[in-house]
Structure 1
């Protein structure tokens, strides 16, 4: 335990884990310096990532969510929704771009526990099929970190969308806001 101290939480047992850590520290089973090192590491990484530069959301952007402009699609745009498309579907429609939404099914608390950090099927196959044929933006909807590195070479852009909700409106809001901010 002293060689590696990891900040962790197990669903439904957070109080037990916190109490155990404190007890281990009090009886010197885990040195307080180990706990301090773990916390310092987490804070250092967050500072390096710039998470404390602008700690509050920019509420001036909320005016874009749900307004008529964000809900309107250019009439010349062809929007096609297809669940689990194959390569023939993509080739036959001559798409310029694709927005590929993959990720986890909605869950709360323990029901989302997993023994690995992989993107659930059929997500990896869908990304491989579509992104090999057309420029694509992958919207990854998850409630936790998942391994994306094996897929980065095939995709043109990645949006890590954390818990947008179980319907497409959250995904649409994020994509439209990105376009509005660029223009």
Structure 2
């Protein structure tokens, strides 16, 4: 996946391209960054910026493998991780950054720090800053992301070089690597981006591609009490449809973190279509769609054909997403369960990861869909639940029964998931292209 993104950004290197050297195909391509090197996905208890405790062989086999492909495809930059390996911060590990990444793996681009990472090398953050600069640059960091204290950084770096604590050969190595990437990207010939490409941003072709990605990524976890009585697809000409939940009409929640703001936020953060808006666009002319974020009265009396309850997580990034219970936010599970007690209900989960699903909710819901974070194109969700396209997504990870089971390994003898990795029910869609003969 990471390698595909690298070639998507930079372009496909030609036959005979030397592995390790940076490559950018042309002005319509951009420099890619593979991150975060290395092992940040294996920290103890999954703690952000935590410590990955492992042998080198395990680190190489499990966590370093994706970088080999990226380096072979000419990735221009690699970002070091905030995390540690066996107690040593990655940003100060000369062994991993220089001896392994640069020398053993042959990476010829430049290593960039994470934002304010040097501040995190000391406790409390930001203390003993000159020593942090010395440690990171000596370890092999070539470019430093310093959003605030850049004047102090420059002064400390200059002092360390002039005093001989950082050898000029280390500076030369960094400069050569940075210049190599700039030459590969054509920045000296064309220092500014091509403004004629601006019209492609959020163009119709890109929106349609995003919509397609949404519908293909949805995972159908439950569809009716059994395979003989499917609940989906829904009837777009139903008399009255109830739509419930904060996530049904919130573009910010669909997008999650790292979007309009760092942590993400609620509301209309960009142009796009919410799931509620998409439902209203596709239902029949005589169908009544009623939206209640939190139904305040008994809904049995309204004679609803069915309900669509959209619940999930609030946006988060990094440590803001750490959770010991992985519960659905805003009492979403209780809300979905209450609605399902009264009306046949489809539950749609908006989340960046598997969440805790109460067995009672799973039993009550007529259908359950993992929609992940569909972003701006909520229409992609509606394409599938109303049957224009079929469900085809599969779980890329195990869905646990209880957080006490985490971490889960599919090869373990005690493996007992709610839904196993690779699980996903399928349906056929009226607009799906017929299978082509090979």
- The interval holding the TM-score normalised by the smaller chain is 0.5 to 0.7
CA contact (8 A) 2:310 2:348 kept: yes
More divergent stretch after superposition (108-117 vs 172-181): 172-181
Does residue 143 in structure 1 map to residue 293 in structure 2? no
User: Greater share of helix residues, 1 or 2?
Assistant: 1
Q: Scaled by the length of structure 2, what TM-score is found?
A: 0.28
Cross-structure match for 2:282: 72
SS at match of 2:289: coil
C-alpha contact 2:212 2:380 (8 A) present in aligned 1: no
| Deviation by residue 1:26-57 (Cα, 9 ceiling, x = unmatched) | 5xxxxx5xx59x96xxxxxxxxxxxxxxxxxx
3-state SS, counterpart of residue 139 of structure 1: strand
Following superposition, the deviation at residue 164 of structure 1 comes to 2.2
What do you get for the CA RMSD once the two structures are aligned?
3.5
| Structure 1 position 142, deviation (Å) | 1.1
Distance 1:121 1:72, change over 3 A: closer
For structure 1, the residue ranges without an aligned partner over 5 or more in a row are: 1-5, 27-31, 40-58
Structure with max Cα Rg:
2
Task: Flag as ranges the 4+ runs of structure 1 deviating above 6 A.
Answer: 63-66
Hey, what does 2:291 align to over in structure 1?
A: 81
In the alignment, does 2:94 pair up with 1:94? no
Q: Which of 4, 7, 10 is the matching residue for 2:47?
A: 10
| Local SS of the residue matching 2:362 | helix
Gaps of 5+ in 2: 1-40, 63-208, 216-271, 273-277, 390-428, 431-438
Flag the structure with more relative contact order, 1 or 2, with Cα contacts below 8 A and sequence separation at least 6.
1
Q: How many residues align?
A: 139
Relative to structure 1, is the Cα distance of residues 123 and 63 closer, same or farther in structure 2, using a 3 angstrom cutoff? closer
**Structure 1 match to 2:331:** 122
**How far has the Cα of 1:131 moved from its partner?**
0.5
The corresponding residue for 1:132 is 341
Secondary structure of the residue aligned to 2:384 is helix
